[in-house]
Amino acid sequence: MVRKTYRLSPEVEEEIQRLLRPETDRRPVRVTLVFGHPLPSDEEAPNAAWEVPAILRDRIVRTVTTSRFRTYWADFDVREVRDLQAAYEAIEAWPRKEVWIQGRPVPYGAGLWLPLLFFYLAEPESNG
């Protein structure tokens, strides 16, 4: 019987190593805000409340529009915690908002992960 040998692509091998040994991952930590809004029907006027906030306009890396919804992805470096906090506050009223870390959704993103980032990573403001 002949035994087949399979070889993984370098990208897959690298991803497996990152999963098995996260301490070796040298990529900078990236936090993504995924947010969106329903599209107006033909009879409705566009809703100005769903205009992308200025703080997020230059950070949008992806936009997906379906027949009923528009979703945006905006990336932040983990060191930009103050900008991330301001951006999240700007979309707080939006119907869809998720927090992704390293390109993947995380459970309790807004309720747990963002406050932890804000608390542990924010530099103290200078008093002078």
More confident residue, 83 or 79: 83
> Across the chain, how many H-helices and E-strands are there?
4, 5
Residue 1 has pLDDT above 90, yes or no: no
**Can you give the residue ranges of every domain in the chain?**
28-121
Site of tokens 């608390």: 119
> Quick one: which of 56, 90, 48 has its CA closest to 72?
56
pLDDT tier for residue 67 given thresholds of 50, 70 and 90: confident
pLDDT tier for residue 49 given thresholds of 50, 70 and 90: low
Rounded CA separation 28/121 (Å): 14
More confident residue, 117 or 86: 86
Rounded CA separation 120/128 (Å): 22
Cβ contact 78:25 at 8 Å: no
* Max CA pair span of the chain: 77
CATH top-level class for 28-121? Answer: alpha beta
What pLDDT shows up at residue 46?
63
